Structure 1
C-alpha cells in the first residue's frame, strides 16, 4: 500500500493498514494546510489542540506498527493500474504498490495583498466553523469578491458579530437577494481595492488604495485553492469542476485501486471540500478500511477452490 501525504488523512489511513498487517509506505512531504494555525477545533477530546502536536502524536502511533514505513519526501509522479502502481519520489527513488491512497490535500492561495498571507491562521481565518467562536463578539471584516465571500459575511453577522464589513477588493457590490441579505444583517460593503493588511491578532488594519483604512479585531478570507499535487490527474482520476478529486462513498476514485482522502477529494454532491481535521482523519480511515476489505476479497477470488472430496 502506498499512502501519499502525512496529514491527518494519510496518517489515519496508514494506521488502519498497519493494524491490519499490510505493508505500507507513507510518503510525507511535511507540508500541511493548517500549519499556520495554532489550534484546531471540533475534534472531540482535542478541541483547541495544536495541529503540529496532533501530527507528532500520529507519527508516533503509526511507528508502532512494523509493517509501516514513513519516509520523508515527495511523490513527483504516479502511474500504473490495479495491483501494479509505481510512484517516483523527488530523489528519483521508485516504489511499487498494489493500491494507492492520495491524501496530498489542497493549498490556499490568498489574494496577493501585502500582509494577508503572513497573517493566515493567526489574524486572518477562512472558516467560521474552525475559528468563528474565537472571533465572537469582535469587529470583523471579510475580504473577497466572490458570492461565497458575501455569504460568509452574512453567516458571521448572523452568528458571531454585530459589526461585519465585506471588503470586495475592487469587485462590484453584491446586488439583488444577496445585497438584501447583507443589508438585513447590517453588513457594510466596502468596494475599494485593499492594498495592505497590517497589525497583530486582535488589532488588524485593512488599508485601502485610496488612503483610507479599517481597523478590525479579525479578518476572514476564503482564499482560492489548488491541488497540492497532480498525482490524481496523472493516474487518470476524474477531477471535478472545482478542482477536487471525485470519490464515492467509500473514498474510491474513478480509477480502480486508487482512493483519495481529506480535502483533496469530495463527493460530487458535496458543495465544498471540507477542511476539518476530524473529517480528514475520518476519510483516511474510511478509505483504508474499504481498500483493505477489497484487497482481502480479491485475494479470496484468486485462491483455489477447496476439493470437495477432502
Structure 2
C-alpha cells in the first residue's frame, strides 16, 4: 500500500507527531464539519494544511447528527474524530488553540496569532468558526439547549414526535414556527413570552391546526429526573411539555474575521432580526482576497451536511486560486530573460 494512502498508519503517526511548521498553503480556522471538509479537499489536492480548532463546537450539547446521509444518528464527537482521522491520513495537521487575530502579511498571505502567543503563516485562510446561539432569558433554558430545548424541526422533530410541544413566542415568526412543528406533534402550544401579535390569517391558521395560543411570559422550566416535564408560566400554571421550541438569535463567531476588517452584517426575516453573518460569494470567497468562509459563520441555516458541502466548495475554490497564482508565477519565470 502506498504510504500516502489514508490507510498508511505509520505515515499518519509521523504526521501527528510532527511539530507545527511556520508556513502553510492554507490554515483552516475551525474544526467542525465545514472546516474538516475543506481541509480534506485541500489535503487531497496535495496542499499543506493546518486546522486550528478552539474546541467549542456549536452542536456539542446534541446527542446525534441528523439528516446527514449515511451518517444518520452519529454522535457529533464521533463525526469530528472520523473527519480528523481522514484529514490526517492525507497529511493535514492540527493544533488545538484559539486564534486571537489574523493580519495581512507583506508580500501576500496572512499571519495568525494564537491566544497562547504562537504564530503561524498561511497563503490562504478558510474560516469556519460557526455561530453562537443567543437564547431567550428563561431560567433553566440554556442548560437544556440541544436536548429538549430546540429550534430546528429537521434536526430534532422526529425525536420529539407526538410529545406535547411548547413554543416560546418571541417575535412575529412564532406562528410559522409553531405551524411547522405541528407536522411532528398534534399537541402544540404557543406561549407569548414576549409581546407579539399574529395576523388574522395566522390566528385562523393556528386555530385550524389546533395550535393553542396562551399569554406568558414563561417563568421557568419544570424538570424531574433530568427530563423536561413542563413549562411554568407567570402566575404558576404548568403546561406539560416534552420539548420547548425557541427562536434563538444566531450571531456569527467572527472575531478572527473582524481583525481582517470583515464585520458581520445583521440578518432579518420578515422584519425580525434573526442574527448576523459574514457575507461571502457562492463558494465562500469574502471581500478580503485570500480569505474564504464556510458553514454557519456565513449561513445561519446550514445544517451539518450543508456546512460540509460548503467546506468542500470553499476548499476547491482555494485550491484553484492557489493554482492560478502558481501558474502566473511559472509563466512569469518562463518569460524572464536568462542571465548571461
Q: Above 0.5 in TM-score?
A: yes
> Shift of the alpha carbon at 1:238?
5.6
* 2:310 is equivalent to residue 286 of structure 1: no
**Structure 2 equivalent of residue 269 of structure 1:** none
* 2:77 is equivalent to residue 52 of structure 1: yes
**Structure 2 equivalent of residue 34 of structure 1:** 59
* 2:322 is equivalent to residue 295 of structure 1: yes
* From 177, 184, 190, the counterpart of 1:152: 177
Distance in 2 (alpha carbons) for counterparts of 1:179 and 1:86: 55
* 2:123 is equivalent to residue 123 of structure 1: no
* From 96, 107, 113, the counterpart of 1:72: 96
Distance in 2 (alpha carbons) for counterparts of 1:289 and 1:83: 20
* 2:199 is equivalent to residue 175 of structure 1: yes
> Which deviations, in whole Å up to 9, do the C-alpha atoms of 1:54-77 show, x marking residues without a partner?
0111111112123x2200010111
Distance in 1 (alpha carbons) for counterparts of 2:330 and 2:163: 64
Distance in 2 (alpha carbons) for counterparts of 1:275 and 1:47: 16
Pairwise CA RMSD: 1.8
The runs of 5 or more residues in structure 2 that have no matched partner are: 1-25, 268-275, 336-340
TM-score (norm 1): 0.91
Q: Which has the larger radius of gyration?
A: 2
**Structure 2 equivalent of residue 247 of structure 1:** 280
C-alpha contact (below 8 Å) 1:123/1:204 kept by paired residues:
no
Distance in 1 (alpha carbons) for counterparts of 2:310 and 2:251: 19
Q: How does 1:104-123 map to 2 (within 5 A)?
A: 104-123=129-148
Closer, same or farther in 2 for the Cα pair 1:254/1:178, shift >3 Å?
Answer: farther
Aligned residues: 299
Greater mean alpha carbon deviation, residues 198-207 or residues 54-63: 198-207
Distance in 1 (alpha carbons) for counterparts of 2:250 and 2:75: 23
TM-score (norm 2): 0.83
C-alpha contact (below 8 Å) 2:254/2:278 kept by paired residues:
no
The runs of 5 or more residues in structure 1 that have no matched partner are: 267-272
Distance in 2 (alpha carbons) for counterparts of 1:111 and 1:204: 19
Distance in 1 (alpha carbons) for counterparts of 2:237 and 2:288: 53
